[in-house]
Chains A and B, each alone.
Chain A
Amino acid sequence: MKVTMRVNGAERTGDVEPRVLLVDFLRTNLALTGTHVGCDTTSCGACTVLLDGDPVKSCTVLAVQADGRDVKTVEGLAQGGALSPVQVGFHEEHGLQCGFCTPGMMMVGTALLENNPNPSEEQIRWAISGNICRCTGYMNIVKAIQHAAKLQQAAAAAPSQGAAVPAGGGE
């Protein structure tokens, strides 16, 4: 079957069997390997992407279900080489270790802040509770999303400043 969807702002098409999972389409057909598979049972959230802005577990969505819709993956977070506030937050607050859950966590964090620019710790913990991290114990992930919220608020207060961060990310 032919599918067409907008992925990270660009129209992408592919010819897939009806049973092909969205995550396999993204990883195999589009070579967007930043979205990971951790469990196959919708439990771990490593495969989370945004479908029309809402976080979904792409191991439990068929590629054909995304036909005609808007998909955003971790590769679409940074804009023009500048990391997004959530990406900056994860770096600054040491919100990642092995990095395997990180794309899914960041997609959930991004969607949360879109709907709730100033979430409480409890709201953050609830929002990421469908995503498993084996490394960090979540404390620094919570801080990372709080950090991102502050950056976004600062950017909103002074729109010309932005939250741009140079490419390269690390030291």
Chain B
Amino acid sequence: MSTTMHQHGGIGESIKRKEDARFLRGKGNYIDDLTLPGMLHMAILRSPHAHARIKSVDTSAAAAKPGVIAVVTGELMAQHKLAWMPTLSYDTQAVLATDKVRFQGQEVAAVVAETKYQAEDARDAIVVDYEILPAVISPDGAKAEGAPVIRNEKEGQKDNHIYHWESGDQAKTQAAFAKAHKVVRLHTFYPRCHPAPLETCGCVADVNPATGKATIYMTSQAPHAIRTVFALVTGLPEQNIRVVSPDIGGGFGNKVPVYPGYVVATAASLLIGRPVKWIEDRSENLISTGFARDFHMTGDLAVDEKGKITALRAHLDSDNGAFFSDAQPSKFKAGLFHIVTGSYDIPTAHITADGYYTNKAPGGVAYRCSFRVTEASYLIERLVTNAALELGLDQAEFRMNNFIQPEQFPYTSATGWIYDSGDYPKAMQVALDKLGYEELRKDAEARRKKGEVTGIGIASFTEVVGAGHGADFDILGLRMFDSAELRVHPTGKAMLRMGTKSQGQGHETTFAQIVAEELGIPAADVAVEEGDTDTAPYGLGTYASRSTPVAGAATAMVSRKLRDKARKLAAHLLEAAEEDLTWERGKFYVKGSPDRAKTIQEIAFAAYTNLPEGMEAGLEGVHYYDPPNMTYPFGTYAVVVDIDKGTGQVKVKRMVAVDDCGVRINPMIVEGQIHGGLTEGFGIAFMELITFDSDGNCIGSNFMDYLIPTAWETPKFEIGETVTPSPHHPLGAKGVGESATVGSPAAYVNAVIDALSPYGITNIDMPVTSDKVWAALRSKGVTE
């Protein structure tokens, strides 16, 4: 550690993380670690049924249990006009059910008691009489004639359809398909999975009965947006609401939405006048909070005689659960699925999507991805591999032949999106070289001749991250800018606050490094704080890989603002003209006289002690950054698998990941993010599944059923990089948190399909489990 003590910590340095000091000692401050004087505990009663009418709720036995302070029902919430709340997708969601329950795990009532054990005991004493209704568990079921109308409480809602969405040019695409040499079709289901951060969601709501100030400590990736939503929902004045996100034990999108538990705990604290803590258990987290994916996708690629892709069309049926509460920019019903043309120069595309209510948990979130980019990337990368296999072409060569070329940037895609930058062939070549692709191909052919089942999969994904620009991207009307406030103290140490919120990404280190680079104060001297809406400037939060693209840019811009003022101060101190000063990281000196210099620390002191006539005191500033465009990180992932014919077991032998996220601020942290994303991608590809039986019972409601990769099955990763700076980001950075989860599932599955293609197997839906592979091989007559 001593070797790192004196590093400056600018951009590109893998300095060790500042936040580690508390986490290593067990001194993190997660939500469940918080205890306030007089604090009560809340437990939520959830529906055991997927779809049922509530006939009665009897709370008398529960209310009589020891330690119970209050039992909250939907009826009580309705009296305060809080039985329903708005969602992030302009729908409504029940806070506590009043009329019927619409998914298993839905919130029905809550008990507030002196201890957690007492709250749970009393919760189990609430008696609810249900009339069970038929459950709808898929879009096909939702569409079926005579299907029960799940949202019958909504005026004008006669069926289970939520939205229809289209993008691209239908006529042009149809014409291209009419002329196609070959049409390759893939129908695939990207199943429901769950971000499952190791820390579940929870809050401590503390409404002060004397002042009316509501302080809500909660696991939120977007505390400012939550504050505004709370103000709008409850009618409380926004200055009387303080949302504090403490240390967060992983988010991955799960901690973006507003969940009923937060609302009930806050209402309970308001009514009782004491702080109320609510912490989900793991099953509650898995069965009721923001899931991901659940997209049924059909895609077609048109290919000409020369192996060029000439058109893409796709249709999606989206399973949104009981309430349309997807956490995504409000103008984008199917998220950013527009990126489905991927890294390829496809002249025309047409995509349609329909969303459906089902009796499943609501809250489609982007599990470590930027709003449905994962589903889009998966579809195109699977289609491209299938096309290559069907045409008898090499997967890598087919991709190279269809890539958008470096000189085509900025590139306007067939769905109208402007890709800022990219060099796809280069990233692909680095990956192929690292893999030793040609040798491996030959080796695979030889082994296949001996009857072995082996394959190589490639995915050359491109992402679209860093929302917004604010004109197109908003959450409930709030433009998706972000912010940074920088205060340089008289002693030259600094405090940086942002509108984002780290959940493990290392913001306290990375953002200090941006200040270190731009203003010359060593990273060790820059404290970074996020998550407290009373102190941090307004921002839209951390998700969709937007922290570095947006708040990182704001940090660079505010640092430059302060540097401009520092120049004026330095000119005053050095008695020189501003234009005669040269900036070198950490100091200004007079051109040609490096000895006549003032360090940023000396300048900071002067900002409070020795100002030129007429200058405002202090060295502080704030910047709100509204990006001109999204950023487009990309890369190529390549996977080698062996498959055991006898058991269907897939063994990932190698995983090579080449990422281009533009300029890397802390390469160590970037690589750590990639490792994590590749592992979650591996989990999604092979293990993680939230599914339902025909009655709507959730299978995958605990970590014995919802399988997360451990160190034992997780492959080792071989990491590579290329650097194509974003032309519009002040630092050239693009964001990286999600690339690996977006890009890797298709690479893993493509490897399996490549291995199975000699047997005529063209698709297995995720998770690709041994039993599915075994059954696919047996269906083609393959035995040991």
Closest Cβ–Cβ distance, residue B36 to chain A (whole Å): 13
Does B20 contact A137, Cβ atoms closer than 8 Å? no
Given contacts A44-B198, A96-B24, A130-B710, contact A171 B282 (CB under 8 A): no
Within residues 75 to 116 of chain A, which ones have a CB less than 8 A from any CB in chain B?
Answer: 75, 77-78, 83, 87-88, 90-92, 94, 96-103, 106
Given contacts A34-B28, A41-B703, contact A97 B504 (CB under 8 A): yes
B17 part of interface (Cβ distance < 8 Å): yes
Given contacts A94-B672, A125-B711, contact A37 B32 (CB under 8 A): yes
Given contacts A33-B33, A94-B17, contact A38 B198 (CB under 8 A): yes
Top 9 closest pairs, chain A to chain B, by CB: A34-B26, A98-B504, A100-B249, A99-B23, A137-B675, A169-B21, A43-B703, A74-B26, A137-B679
Q: Which of B4, B23, B672 contacts A140 (CB 8 A)?
A: B672
Does A138 contact B679, Cβ atoms closer than 8 Å? yes
Q: Which of A43, A103, A140, A171 contacts B675 (CB 8 A)?
A: A140
B717 part of interface (Cβ distance < 8 Å): yes
B169 part of interface (Cβ distance < 8 Å): no
Does A141 contact B21, Cβ atoms closer than 8 Å? no
- Assembled-state Cα–Cα distance A74/B28 (Å): 11
Residue-wise, chain B 222-253 has the 8 Å CB interface mask toward A (1 for contact) of 00000000000000000000000001111010
Does B250 contact A98, Cβ atoms closer than 8 Å? yes
The residue on B at minimum CB distance from A34 is: B26
Interface of B, helix, strand, loop or mixed by DSSP: loop
B19 part of interface (Cβ distance < 8 Å): yes
- List 20 A–B pairs whose Cβ atoms lie within 8 Å, in order of A's numbering: A20-B117, A32-B26, A33-B30, A91-B16, A91-B24, A94-B17, A97-B506, A98-B198, A98-B504, A100-B198, A100-B504, A129-B712, A130-B710, A138-B679, A139-B717, A169-B24, A170-B21, A171-B4, A171-B523, A171-B524
Does B714 contact A102, Cβ atoms closer than 8 Å? no
Does B680 contact A138, Cβ atoms closer than 8 Å? no
In the complex, chain A residues whose CB is within 8 Å of the CB of B708: 44, 132, 134
In the complex, chain B residues whose CB is within 8 Å of the CB of A156: none
In the complex, chain A residues whose CB is within 8 Å of the CB of B678: 137
- Assembled-state Cα–Cα distance A135/B252 (Å): 9
Does A17 contact B117, Cβ atoms closer than 8 Å? yes
Closest Cβ–Cβ distance, residue A93 to chain B (whole Å): 9
Closest Cβ–Cβ distance, residue B542 to chain A (whole Å): 12
- Assembled-state Cα–Cα distance A125/B524 (Å): 33
Closest Cβ–Cβ distance, residue B541 to chain A (whole Å): 16
Closest Cβ–Cβ distance, residue A151 to chain B (whole Å): 11
- Assembled-state Cα–Cα distance A101/B26 (Å): 10
Interface residues of B (CB under 8 A from A): 1, 4-5, 7, 9, 15-28, 30, 32-33, 35, 116-117, 196-200, 247-250, 252, 281-283, 503-506, 523-524, 668-669, 672-673, 675-680, 702-704, 708, 710-712, 714, 716-717
- Assembled-state Cα–Cα distance A132/B248 (Å): 16
A131 part of interface (Cβ distance < 8 Å): yes
Given contacts A98-B199, A170-B19, contact A39 B702 (CB under 8 A): yes
Closest Cβ–Cβ distance, residue A50 to chain B (whole Å): 13
In the complex, chain B residues whose CB is within 8 Å of the CB of A31: 35
In the complex, besides A31-B35, A171-B15, 6 extra interface pairs with C-beta distance below 8 angstroms are A39-B703, A43-B704, A99-B22, A137-B677, A142-B711, A168-B21
Q: Which of B198, B673, B680, B712 contacts A125 (CB 8 A)?
A: B712
In the complex, chain B residues whose CB is within 8 Å of the CB of A168: 21
Closest Cβ–Cβ distance, residue A113 to chain B (whole Å): 16
In the complex, chain B residues whose CB is within 8 Å of the CB of A142: 711
- Assembled-state Cα–Cα distance A20/B672 (Å): 37
Does A99 contact B19, Cβ atoms closer than 8 Å? yes
